[in-house]
Structure 1
Amino acid sequence: MALETSSDSPAPVRQIANAISGWIDRLGAIWVEGQIAQVSRRPGVQTVFMTLRDSVADISVPLTCSRTLFDSLNPPLVEGASVVVHAKPSYYANRGSLSLSVRSIRMVGLGELLARLERRRQLLAAEGLFAPELKRSLPFLPGLVGLVTAPNSAAERDVLENARRRWPAVRFKVVYAAMQGQRSATEVLEALDRLERDPEVEVVVVARGGGSVEDLLPFSDEAVIRAVHKMRTPVVSAIGHEPDQPLLDLVADVRASTPTDAAKLVVPDMAEERNGVIWAQQRIRALVLGRIEREQSGLDGLRSRPVLADPRTLLDTRAEEVHGLLERARRTFSHRLDRAADDIDHRRARARALSPLATLQRGYAVVQDAHGHVLTSVASLSAGDPLAVRLADGRVHAVTTTTEATNHTAGGTAGAGDTPQPGAPDA
């Protein structure tokens, strides 16, 4: 119902705003198709604010969506996605703004296709097909390179020409397959199987010169992805250009941004390798020459020493030392012998001085009876007893005729007149 207003009785703003809000609230939920232009998620707010833009005209309308609904979308909603939303118009009277309160969001067209690919990517990634530890390194210089591409395509020319320009001796085994269309996935599978069964093929390149998302769908086919995952031969994915990334790029061992880049990754550059070899030779030569110069300098230093200039100098010096030590040893040994001989003479003289034979040599004699007992007194003798007189050079046998005792002083010593004469005992 229209409000009755006039210049004399105008309606206040709040009445108009509430009326508009009431009219819009009576509208039911509608399905709207468009493209997400921007997404705003404010911290602490349970509402996500978006803008839905018409795909043809320059017209847009605000969207509001609960955070729970927005977070439940798989794949996540991003700017630029084409969607169909089920929403109810809502008017915010305080600001006088109109928005659509979203109840459901569905991907359509390209957005739906990308959503399916994203779900497939998530499933295959959960199985571990894209794990980094499964990636194999490419051979430095493969003997035979397998190439899967379309016949007479720009991708084939880019790979072959750039690879042969970098390394003229490189060999290729090209297996043709449809790079788009319904039979593309099947033919690519057959080509990969054929190259996998060839023992001479050391690396496989799958090349295509870009295209739309729909054209690249065969390279996101699950059968193709699993076949590449099972291959023992390293695989290089060269599908499309930098913005394009089918699932084959994720499962391949190496991803090349373009077919030309694939040729650079597969074979080395001969000029660079030649320069590297020349540099290595120069480096090795410099190291060897430096080592030789150091060793030669060391030899020259050794040869300049007196001992090596004239080896006899050291021998002569040592010979003089040996002769000096020998003379010193001789003198020392001779002195020791002389002192030992003198000591022996002294000891001999002392022994001789203490010997009874030396006493006998001074004129004394030892008198023994018939039984060999030494006589010290005449009291034990009588006339006619046999005697043996021991002299320094022999014995004298005698018979006792008479005995005569000798008088001693009170002190027990013989007088001057009583001293017997040596060699003349009483007999």
Structure 2
Amino acid sequence: MVADTLDFKAVSVAGVTEYIQLLLEGDENLRNIWIIGEVSSARNHSSGCFFSLQEPDGSATLNAVVWRSQLPKLNVVPTVGEQVVVLGQLKLYPKRGSYQLTTWQVLPAGAGLQALRYRQLRNRLASEGLFDEDRKRPLPLFPRCIAVVTSHQAAAWGDIQETLTQRHPGLQVLLSPAIVQGEQAPKSIVKAIDRVAEDGRAEVLLLGRGGGAVEDLVCFDDERVVRAIATCPIPVVTGIGHERDESLADLVADVCAHTPTAAAEQIVPALHDLRNYQIQLLQRLAQVTGGQLYQHKTGLEQLARRLQRLQPERQLNQACQEQNWRRQRLLKVVAQHLQAAQHRHQLLSEKLATLDPEAVLRRGYALVRESSGNLVTTTDDVAPGDAISIQLAQGRIAAEVINLEN
């Protein structure tokens, strides 16, 4: 009867182990899982690093391994007593019937994780050139309107107002309020910066906050805040009061000051400093002007001495005398040429008068022409009976040849 009651099907150890392995390694939630815990043990081996994670109270333990090929890729090496966050996949080791976490990455937990994320973000933004010095803009020398992004309830806002009033009375200050602490701070700061850009009146922006705990200031390491500062159309000055390393907002800002008061002092010069600077400029102007006047006076004295040596009046008198002499000489030569021309003209006129045929006619001579009009100069030019004309000084006579005498 006992044998009849034991009617069941037995499963081998390998079969159970394989089934559990399929369940464990086939679960999507366990293939790529982040686990946080404290390193309770760590042992280096030729094949890799074997370590254990446990709860802080020791209520649970998980074995893990980082194979040798993956060790150089870890951000941190498992160290006993350290809190870490581990990325890996749960796998079953059939020979021992135990499971362990095959680890791909180990990160520090808590403050260490925040520091790692800070370094990674800082390196990525730096590779984009957001922290380069050549992209930083100079501040306006004498801004007429500035914008302040901070909490209107914070003491930093009062410090900024007091500093600006003392250093530069009459300066227009615009407050764009923002939350500067907590989870909502990054989004609020970005909106406040955008409001200033849309308003368009401010020439420079001051992002300020007083001192506080490190965890209260993480909003200034937020990537959204960094990019809002980088794309702001006007120069940005940060005045975030803390003693730790510079925030990412400080690195991307055009000018960085470690307190809101120092930031306000960076933006506007003090009036008494301007007066002192003006006095220095006036003194320097007087020195430069005096030096130039002395140089010009010396130059004029040198020119005066040179004029005395050259005696320009004497040279001018000599030139005038020479000009008068040349003028007289020219008039004399012209008169001589005119007299010679007049004498030549008289001679030519007399000669022309002697050659004038009318003058010959007036002396009693006559011109004889044949019927064709040609002059008769010899008896051979005409014959008896030819008609001829005789031109006298006054009038003309028609005649006929009667006789010819050689």
Aligned pairs for 1:163-182 within 5 A:
163=164, 166-167=167-168, 179-182=180-183
Residue 69 to residue 169, structure 1, CA distance change in 2 (3 Å): farther
Report % sequence identity: 29
Aligned to 2:283: 282
**Inter-partner Cα distance in structure 2 for 1:339 and 1:230:** 99
Residue 221 to residue 321, structure 1, CA distance change in 2 (3 Å): same
Secondary structure in structure 2 of the residue aligned to 1:29: strand
Aligned length: 323
Aligned to 1:39: none
Aligned to 2:333: 332
Q: Contact 1:150 / 1:208 at 8 angstroms: preserved in 2?
A: no
**Inter-partner Cα distance in structure 1 for 2:383 and 2:206:** 145
What is the CA deviation profile of residues 236-259 of structure 1, one whole-angstrom value per residue up to 9, with x for unaligned ones? 222344642333224434322444
**Inter-partner Cα distance in structure 2 for 1:369 and 1:159:** 133
**Inter-partner Cα distance in structure 2 for 1:304 and 1:104:** 92
Deviates more, 1:318-327 or 1:352-361: 352-361
Residue 329 to residue 115, structure 1, CA distance change in 2 (3 Å): same
Residue 340 to residue 118, structure 1, CA distance change in 2 (3 Å): same
Q: Contact 1:147 / 1:175 at 8 angstroms: preserved in 2?
A: yes
Which one has a bigger Cα radius of gyration? 1
Secondary structure in structure 2 of the residue aligned to 1:30: strand
**Inter-partner Cα distance in structure 2 for 1:240 and 1:141:** 25
Residue 197 to residue 340, structure 1, CA distance change in 2 (3 Å): closer
In the alignment, structure 2 segments of 5+ residues that lack a partner are 1-44, 55-65, 87-102, 394-402
Aligned pairs for 1:43-122 within 5 A:
69-70=71-72, 72-73=73-74, 84=84, 105-121=106-122
Q: Does 1:205 align with 2:186?
A: no
**Please, what TM-score do these two structures have when normalized by structure 2?**
0.52
Q: Does 1:138 align with 2:159?
A: no
Q: Contact 1:178 / 1:184 at 8 angstroms: preserved in 2?
A: yes
Residue 348 to residue 66, structure 1, CA distance change in 2 (3 Å): farther
Residue 77 to residue 336, structure 1, CA distance change in 2 (3 Å): farther
Aligned pairs for 1:10-409 within 5 A:
29-31=50-52, 69-70=71-72, 72-73=73-74, 84=84, 105-121=106-122, 135-142=136-143, 143-148=145-150, 151=153, 153=155, 159=160, 163=164, 166-167=167-168, 179-182=180-183, 184-185=185-186, 188=189, 201=202, 202-209=204-211, 211-212=213-214, 214-229=215-230, 231-232=232-233, 234-241=235-242, 243-288=244-289, 320=321, 323-344=324-345
Q: Contact 2:230 / 2:253 at 8 angstroms: preserved in 1?
A: yes
Q: Contact 1:148 / 1:192 at 8 angstroms: preserved in 2?
A: no
- Letter paired with 1:235: V
Cα distance, 1:121 vs structure 2: 4.2
Secondary structure in structure 2 of the residue aligned to 1:216: helix
Residue 256 to residue 348, structure 1, CA distance change in 2 (3 Å): same
**Inter-partner Cα distance in structure 2 for 1:191 and 1:390:** 129
**Inter-partner Cα distance in structure 1 for 2:348 and 2:210:** 123
Residue 370 to residue 31, structure 1, CA distance change in 2 (3 Å): closer
Cα distance, 1:141 vs structure 2: 3.3
Aligned to 2:16: none
Secondary structure in structure 2 of the residue aligned to 1:139: coil
**Inter-partner Cα distance in structure 1 for 2:329 and 2:212:** 104
Alpha-carbon RMSD: 6.2
Residue 278 to residue 77, structure 1, CA distance change in 2 (3 Å): farther
Secondary structure in structure 2 of the residue aligned to 1:215: helix
**Inter-partner Cα distance in structure 2 for 1:68 and 1:27:** 8
**Inter-partner Cα distance in structure 2 for 1:318 and 1:229:** 78
Residue 186 to residue 274, structure 1, CA distance change in 2 (3 Å): same
**Inter-partner Cα distance in structure 2 for 1:190 and 1:403:** 145
Q: Contact 1:235 / 1:252 at 8 angstroms: preserved in 2?
A: yes
**Inter-partner Cα distance in structure 2 for 1:28 and 1:225:** 39
Q: Contact 1:147 / 1:172 at 8 angstroms: preserved in 2?
A: no
